[in-house]
Structure 1
Amino acid sequence: MILTVTPNPSLDRTYEVPSLDRGEVLRATGDRVDPGGKGVNVSRAVAAAGVRTTAVLPLGGPPGTLLAELLVAQGVDVTAVSIAGQTRSNISVAEPCGTVTKINTAGPELSAAESALLLDTVRSCSGAAAWIACCGSLPRGLAPEWYAEIVARAHQGGARIALDTSGPALLAALPARPDVVKPNVAELAEAVGRPLATLGDAVKAAEELVGLGAGAVLASLGAHGQLLVGPEGAFHGTAPVTAVRSDVGAGDASLAGFLIAGGAGPAALASALAHGAAAVQLPGSVMPTPTDLRPDAVRITAAPPLDLTLTRD
């Protein structure tokens, strides 16, 4: 079982438009509402693969109720922590060229009592978990060290931790030794405090995070694939994408694929790439099913091209 923790979940509303023209009245050619938040998306992708998953998340107001209903309908077990605030709603506007404009709201502020209850709920649900995936930004009211506390408690219970966050929360959690962290290239650059111009730069940055406590680093490089740096060395992989429809939740689908395949080594990296490539070719934040995957098209190398220039997508 894969347990996910999403401290700041959302309802994700996606509108597809012919083009995004400022100041104009836009008519959507398609729209959908999905449960959102990084950990929520990981659970959705895990459930779509037919693997058991439980999502622990704070929920409040009508948006929280709808979010839970949507998750249950997709086969995700939900353990909700009731909060006084209202669950946030985010908006994405997707254009045919693949460009997605996102408007993310801050979300509710959690009280000290709600924060403590969320921690206790994670601990009570983690007994059967092979992996705990802690994902996303921390809402107002939670200190940067909150994820570090989750990591410490999970290790005491024998579970492995995957952490997908950034900024102070990521750096604060590294001394607690999460088993894998999953930054994108911008977040990896932020963590080491310098730009990453080449794949070699990204490898060195990932090695620094390992030196600070991460068991392994799974880094998303956008169009340049993904990088895995850990005890077995450095691996780089790519997967072809015919057309990008929406990248919302694609990184979360990658993390789900990585954990489903064991969470370590090149085989898990290949699964992450297959899931991520499939996700970007689906609308909104739809998670791929096994029939959407093309594992035979994934390419992995143990000799990463260190001089590869990492251009912005």
Structure 2
Amino acid sequence: MTLNPCLDKTLVVPGWKPGDSVRGKAVRDVVGGKGNNVARALKRLGRSSRPVTFLGGAAGATCRALLAEVDGLDPIVVETRSTTRVILTVATEGTTDQTAFFDPDPAISQAEADELVAQVERALSEPGVEALTLSGSSPSPTTHGVYSELISLARARRIPVFLDTYGPALEAIWGFWPTVIQMNRREAAMRLGKPSVDDEDVVRLLRDWRRRGVACGIVTDGPDPALVQFGDVLYQVAPPEIPLKNPIGSGDSLLAGLVDGWLKGSEPEAVIRRAVACAAANASVWDAGAIEPETVERLEDELELEAF
């Protein structure tokens, strides 16, 4: 699920500075939003997945077509009166420099939010549903509680829930907690109301989630080691060194790797290796979620994992 999708336009340009008139070299449209990246990564890993999202207006129609015709996915969509936002990413040719310009978040009506919950509830009752992933920010006050509702619905059906969010959508969770939570250090600092966090802060946060029934919690730190609480064991995992191409979508690929390892019934260390290798594989390619299984398998053996 993605509550705040976008039409992600990437414009490749020569070197520039503010105020220049810049002629683009290439342009490409993909459907953005963290859950959509998760769905693409899961497909690369051989899993069948359905994106769930809001889409509206001309940008939304383009997104729907791209999900079906380019990504080969069958989305569950609630149409909104507000148009889907567009994010323009300007990538400077020959470098890793990129600047993103975001449209304002859409206004989602209460009826639209309720319809999304109803559609997912129906989908969760269908045979063959093995997991639910909830990814990204909440765009509107009407959607802040959606993740909390869906966690309750899924956990009541014994369907594992994998959560990657922050801000109001995370603050709204009560009662049932997800099976797995992941976030990065910046988001952990937001959760704790601090400008930054150290390892002790992260460990306290992970142990708090554990007390709430979360089976696995991960806080990542880009190319630096991540901390993982899996059951009662704390792990530190250092990602493998890779030629960095584009880190966008790495957290989403990590979540896909967690789902894949979890559903295989792998041991905790194998699940962690799978997840972090997926994140690294994503950062080594341009398109978010376009991970190669062969690369993932190679990187699983190259990362460093230590239990405390």
Q: Tell whether the structures are fold-level matches, with TM greater than 0.5.
A: yes
Preserved contact between residue 63 and residue 89 of structure 1 (Cα < 8 Å):
yes
Q: Give me the whole-angstrom Cα distance separating, in 2, the residues matched to 1:178 and 1:6.
A: 16
| C-alpha contact (below 8 Å) 1:248/1:285 kept by paired residues | yes
* Cα deviation digits, residues 122-180 of structure 1 (max 9, x gap): 11112332110011111224253221111111112221111111013212215421111
Structure 2 runs not aligned, ≥5 long? none
Whether 2:112 is the aligned partner of 1:107: answer: no
Query: For residues 253 and 20 of structure 1, do their structure 2 counterparts lie closer, same or farther at Cα, with a shift above 3 Å needed?
Result: farther
C-alpha separation between the residues in 2 aligned to 1:274 and 1:176? 29
Say if 1:44 and 1:71, in contact at 8 Å, map to a contact too: no
- Aligned residue number for residue 285 of structure 2: 282
- Residue in 2 that maps onto 1:269: 272
C-alpha distance in structure 2 between counterparts of 1:143 and 1:81, whole Å: 13
Change over 3 Å in CA distance of 1:100–1:212 after alignment to 2 = farther
Give the whole-Å Cα distance in 1 for the aligned partners of 2:53 and 2:143.
Answer: 17
The answer for the alignment partner of 1:156 in structure 2 is 156
Counterpart CA distance in 1 for 2:190 and 2:281 is 28
CA distance 1:175–1:200, change in 2 (3 Å):
same
| Residue of structure 2 in register with 1:181 after alignment | 181
SS at the partner of 2:63?
helix
How far apart are the structure 2 equivalents of 1:206 and 1:16?
40
Deviations 1:194-253 (A, max 9, x none): 355533432222222333453321212112132211314111212224332222211111
Whether 2:75 is the aligned partner of 1:78: answer: yes
Q: Distance in 1 between matches of 2:170 and 2:16?
A: 34
CA distance in 2: counterparts of 1:18 and 1:227, whole angstroms: 39
Distance 1:108 1:201, change over 3 A: closer
Identify the range of structure 1 (25-34 vs 154-163) with the bigger mean alpha-carbon deviation: 25-34
Identical columns (%): 27
Change (3 A) 1:196 1:269: farther
Could you tell me which runs of 5 or more consecutive residues in structure 1 were left unpaired when the two chains were aligned.
304-313
TM-aligned CA distance change 1:243 to 1:62, over 3 Å: same
- Maintained 8 Å contact 1:177/1:215: no
Contact 2:113 2:143 in 1 (8 A): no
Q: What is the distance in 2 between the residues matched to 1:102 and 1:124?
A: 36
RMSD: 2.1
Contact 1:218 1:229 in 2 (8 A): yes
> 3-state DSSP class of the match of 1:188?
helix
Alpha-carbon displacement from aligned partner over 1:61-87 (angstroms, at most 9, x marks no partner) = 222222122222323221111222211
* Aligned mates of 1:161, 1:69 — CA distance in 2: 28
Q: Aligned AA for 2:295? A: D
Name the residue aligned to 1:49. Answer: 45
Contact residue 282 and residue 289 of structure 2 kept, 8 A: yes
Aligned pairs (5 A) from 1:1-313: 5-19=1-15, 21-72=17-68, 73-95=70-92, 96-127=94-125, 128-262=128-262, 265-293=268-296, 294-303=299-308
What secondary structure does 1:54 align onto? coil
| 1:92-131 CA distance string (max 9 Å, x none) | 2234543432222233211111111100001111233211
TM-score of the two chains, using structure 2 as the length reference: 0.89
Partner of 1:308: none
- Check the 8 A contact 1:34/1:285 in 2, yes or no: no
| 188-197 vs 175-184, which moves further | 188-197
How far apart, in 1, do the equivalents of 2:203 and 2:78 lie?
39
Specify the alignment match of 1:310 in structure 2.
none
Whole-angstrom distance in 2 between the partners of 1:301 and 1:27: 49
Q: Does the aligned pair in 1 maintain the 2:247–2:282 contact within 8 Å?
A: yes
> 1-side partners of 2:25 and 2:111: how far apart?
44
Single out whichever of 159-168 and 196-205 deviates more from structure 2: 196-205
Give the CA deviation at 1:185: 0.6
Q: Secondary structure at the match of 1:292?
A: helix
Q: Count how many residue pairs are aligned between Structure 1 and Structure 2.
A: 299
> d(CA) in 1 for partners of 2:101 and 2:219?
24
The one-letter amino acid paired with 2:5 is P
Larger deviation, residues 228-237 vs 253-262: 228-237
Q: Counterpart amino acid of 1:124? A: R
User: 3-state DSSP class of the match of 2:139?
Assistant: coil
- Look up the equivalent residue of 1:21 and give its one-letter code: K
